[in-house]
Amino acid sequence: MVDCIFCKIVEGKIPSSKIYEDDLIYSFLDINPASKGHLLIIPKRHCENLNDLTNDELKAIFDLINKISNIIETVLETSSFNLLLNYGREAGQVINHIHFHLIPRKKDDGLAISKWPFMKFSGEHLNEIAKFFREKLEAS
């Protein structure tokens, strides 16, 4: 058994403010929200990365994101949100159970859009990287 806080939430061993649940996925409010209505969507089955997710789980996650995006304006008086996946430690993932953040946004909410520095690459370099990705995708 994996000692995973999200698995414990799904099992009901840790309380959560549940938004949605079906056979494949579970959604609940983040206990350390960046904004009002900040929620998480997770697969119920323990999955650490994208390759662990089934197509059905991915579809269920994105169907729910779509449904929630259609009601955010009514519930939270905004139609803006960030959809965030911190994938791996270097990207800020703290819990090793894949999870998607949906963070409602409002004008002047004080949240930074991005703190990343913008990089400059030559067109030739970008084309080399794109070619690498295309070749790997064609081979998969």
CATH architecture of 5-111: 2-Layer Sandwich (3.30)
Output the CA torsion 94→107→16→49 (10° steps): -30
pTM of the model: 0.88
10-residue block means of pLDDT along the chain (140 residues)? 89 96 97 94 96 96 94 86 93 94 92 78 92 92
Active-site entry in 97, 99, 101, 125? 99
The predicted structure's pLDDT at residue 54: 97
Q: Nearest 5°: CA angle at 81, between 80 and 84? A: 160
46 close to 109: Cβ distance less than 8 angstroms: no
* 99 among known catalytic residues: yes
**What are the tokens at 50?**
């994208």
The predicted structure's pLDDT at residue 75: 86
The predicted structure's pLDDT at residue 114: 66
